[in-house]
């Protein structure tokens, strides 16, 4: 162990670690993987925000005895609008939430298109295109991670061959 901290002593220490094999190789993702991951994380966040808005609207209406019930697809906004139609005091609070939900839905659809474009060009993903869109998104995220792992292992193999 070196007493004085300096660049030269650091270099000597790193050299000793490399010679003894006291290190663990780490995987470095490429920029494409980061871009796809950012796209998927952004979409997941927007989906969570949309669900939170819907739950907030449900909670505000439920306090007054108004229940939307199970609302699939685009039924939620119309059901909520029907319930607040004759209640202007509720419309003031709920209409902005519904407007925000519509804007978030549009952004989710935009991100879906951006995710589907590279997914369609991937042969493995195309085999699963008959499944639900959410399953397709999860599959594409999985394949992106596995491709990154294979690429990093291939990089390690090529590095070891060049030594």
Instruction: Tell which wins on pLDDT, 28 or 116.
Output: 116
Give ∠ CA 74-87-84 in degrees, rounded to 5. 10
Q: Which residue has the tokens 């989906």?
A: 47
Is the pTM higher than 0.95? The answer reads no
At 154, the pLDDT band (50, 70, 90 cuts) reads low
Instruction: Quickly list H helices, the chain.
Output: 7-20, 31-62, 75-84, 88-120, 123-126, 133-162
The upper half-sphere exposure of residue 106, i.e. CA atoms within 13 Å in the direction of its Cβ, equals 5
Q: CA–CA separation, 49 vs 55, rounded Å?
A: 10
pLDDT value for 1: 59
Residues 78-96: tens digit of each pLDDT: 899 888 998 888 899 999 9
**Whole-angstrom Cα Rg for the chain:** 26
């Amino acid at each position: 162990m070196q007493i004085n901290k300096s660049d030269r002593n650091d270099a000597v220490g790193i050299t000793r670690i490399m010679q003894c094999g006291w290190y663990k190789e780490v995987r470095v993702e490429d920029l494409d993987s980061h871009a796809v991951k950012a796209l998927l994380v952004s979409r997941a966040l927007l989906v969570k925000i949309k669900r939170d808005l819907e739950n907030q609207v449900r909670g505000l209406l439920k306090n007054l005895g108004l229940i939307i019930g199970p609302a699939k697809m685009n039924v939620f906004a119309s059901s909520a609008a029907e319930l607040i139609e004759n209640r202007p005091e509720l419309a003031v609070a709920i209409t902005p939430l519904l407007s925000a939900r519509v804007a978030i839905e549009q952004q989710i659809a935009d991100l879906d298109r951006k995710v589907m474009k590279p997914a369609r060009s991937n042969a493995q993903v195309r085999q699963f295109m008959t499944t639900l869109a959410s399953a397709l998104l999860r599959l594409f995220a999985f394949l992106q991670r596995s491709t990154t792992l294979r690429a990093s292992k291939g990089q390690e193999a090529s590095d070891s061959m060049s030594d």
